[in-house]
A and B are shown apart, each in its own frame.
Chain A
Amino acid sequence: MWLPFLGLIFGLALGLLTNMQIPSIYENYLSIAVLAALDTLFGGIRAQLQQVYDDKVFVSGFFFNIILAAGLAFLGVYLGIDLYLAAIFAFGVRLFQNIAIIRRILLTKIDEKRHKRNKNSIE
């Protein structure tokens, strides 16, 4: 259960300790990729809670979203349109929706638990 968090912490530590950097031209792409990754991650958590989680969808969505976002930004640069804004908007909205759904599911779960406990104590 905690293995994924270990992965996250390990990745953060590796990045921060090695002081890795990318040229500032690619900063935009990376920021959008991070957003896409976060979106996929929360999407995955939501799917898990709704019991519709599929491994293939998650992993392919992760990489595909990142590539798509970076690709959009890249295309936008060459077309003179700030297409990365579209990606930021889409991912941002989805991020909020996913988090909202996760919150509601968790709230329902907590409510159910409390009901059960109350019932137990009455009996």
Chain B
Amino acid sequence: MKKNMYTRITIVLFIIGLMIAVQYNTIKQPAERDTRDIWAIREELAEEKQRHSTLLAEIRSLNEVVGRYEQSEKANLQSALYQTLDRLKQQAGLTEVTGPGVVLRVEPAPELVEMGYEIKEISPDLLTQLLNALFKNNAASVSIDGNRVVQTTAIRDINGKTTVNSVPLSAPPFEIYVGTSSFKEAQKMYNSLQASTFIDSFYLDNFNLIIEEPTEHLIIPAFDQPLTNDYLTEVKKGE
């Protein structure tokens, strides 16, 4: 009888403990107050809207592909497949791209060379920062010193040499080609790069970053190494 009583009280106390803990969790939940003002929220909304519209555009293009497949189910399935393959290759950076864009030239600052400053390798971090800024400004395709930047491209320091796709960069001056989807985008890119702090950042490393006027006709080489995908596996049908 006594034991029975203790079991019941234990169960009741267990429930009490659980309730208190849940209440505590719920109360402390908003640990950070949302302190954004209306403007910040609007900007975030605009960003999300933008993403929304990109996703919608993607859906439309995929729907088009589906339509094409359906239309050409019998007649020329092969050509539809080839078209898709080409599009994927283009996305992956396996094809040469011709279009509008901006050329950036990295060269040692002549006045510093004259003064006898030692020009070192360009730092991978700086290049990565620049790439991030480029892609933020809607760069469609980028090549650094003739090496096409793709999804798996690594920019790193190997034995004191800065490499892109494991290929060491040639000594400056070298060029960075930035392809954009339209000439207007290229102009935008040019302006935002001019306004950015990259020229100063490069000068800190004793380099001049020269941003050339946008051109209509820029040839960006294809990615020339085999693509490795160690972690991708085929999904079985119906999964």
The residue from B5, B21, B27, B29 contacting A11, defined by CB atoms under 8 A apart: B21
B10 contacts A by Cβ under 8 Å: yes
A27 contacts B by Cβ under 8 Å: yes
Instruction: Tell whether, in the assembled complex, residue A19 and residue B25 are in contact, meaning their CB atoms are under 8 Å apart.
Output: yes
* Minimum distance in angstroms from B85 CB to a CB of chain A: 47
Instruction: Tell whether, in the assembled complex, residue B13 and residue A11 are in contact, meaning their CB atoms are under 8 Å apart.
Output: yes
Within 8 A of B (CB), among A2-47: 3-16, 19-22, 24, 27, 30-31, 33-34, 37-38, 40-41, 44
B27 to chain A: which residues have CB within 8 Å?
27
Decide: A30 near B22, CB < 8 A? Known: A8-B17, A10-B17, A12-B17: yes
A62 contacts B by Cβ under 8 Å: yes
* Minimum distance in angstroms from B26 CB to a CB of chain A: 5
A24, B23: Cα distance in complex, Å: 10
Instruction: Tell whether, in the assembled complex, residue A58 and residue B24 are in contact, meaning their CB atoms are under 8 Å apart.
Output: no
Over the window 38-63 of chain A, the binary record of Cβ atoms lying under 8 Å from chain B Cβ atoms (1 yes, 0 no) is 10110010000000000100110010
A14 to chain B: which residues have CB within 8 Å?
17-18, 21
The residue from A5, A19, A30, A55 contacting B19, defined by CB atoms under 8 A apart: A30
Pairs across A and B, CB under 8 Å, 12 listed: A4-B6, A4-B13, A7-B14, A8-B13, A8-B16, A9-B17, A11-B15, A12-B21, A15-B18, A15-B22, A20-B18, A59-B12
Q: B-side interface residues toward A, CB under 8 Å?
A: 4-27, 29
Instruction: Tell whether, in the assembled complex, residue A55 and residue B6 are in contact, meaning their CB atoms are under 8 Å apart.
Output: no
Known interface pairs A15-B19, A24-B26, A40-B12; 16 further A-B residue pairs with C-beta atoms within 8 A, sorted by A's residue number: A7-B9, A7-B14, A8-B16, A11-B19, A11-B21, A14-B17, A15-B18, A15-B24, A16-B24, A21-B26, A27-B23, A27-B27, A37-B15, A37-B16, A55-B8, A62-B12
Instruction: Tell whether, in the assembled complex, residue B4 and residue A11 are in contact, meaning their CB atoms are under 8 Å apart.
Output: no
Instruction: Tell whether, in the assembled complex, residue B14 and residue A22 are in contact, meaning their CB atoms are under 8 Å apart.
Output: no
Decide: A34 near B9, CB < 8 A? Known: A21-B25, A24-B26: no
B7 to chain A: which residues have CB within 8 Å?
3
Instruction: Tell whether, in the assembled complex, residue A55 and residue B5 are in contact, meaning their CB atoms are under 8 Å apart.
Output: yes
The residue from A3, A33, A34 contacting B10, defined by CB atoms under 8 A apart: A3
Chain A interface residue count: which class? 20 to 34
B26 to chain A: which residues have CB within 8 Å?
21-22, 24, 27, 30
Contact residues of B: prevailing secondary structure: helix
A34, B23: Cα distance in complex, Å: 8
A17, B58: Cα distance in complex, Å: 42
Instruction: Tell whether, in the assembled complex, residue B10 and residue A4 are in contact, meaning their CB atoms are under 8 Å apart.
Output: yes
Decide: A7 near B13, CB < 8 A? Known: A55-B4, A55-B8, A59-B8: yes
A33, B18: Cα distance in complex, Å: 12
A5, B20: Cα distance in complex, Å: 14
A34 (CB) vs chain B CBs: closest residue: B19
A37, B22: Cα distance in complex, Å: 14
B5 to chain A: which residues have CB within 8 Å?
55
Instruction: Tell whether, in the assembled complex, residue A41 and residue B16 are in contact, meaning their CB atoms are under 8 Å apart.
Output: yes
Decide: A7 near B10, CB < 8 A? Known: A27-B26, A27-B27: yes
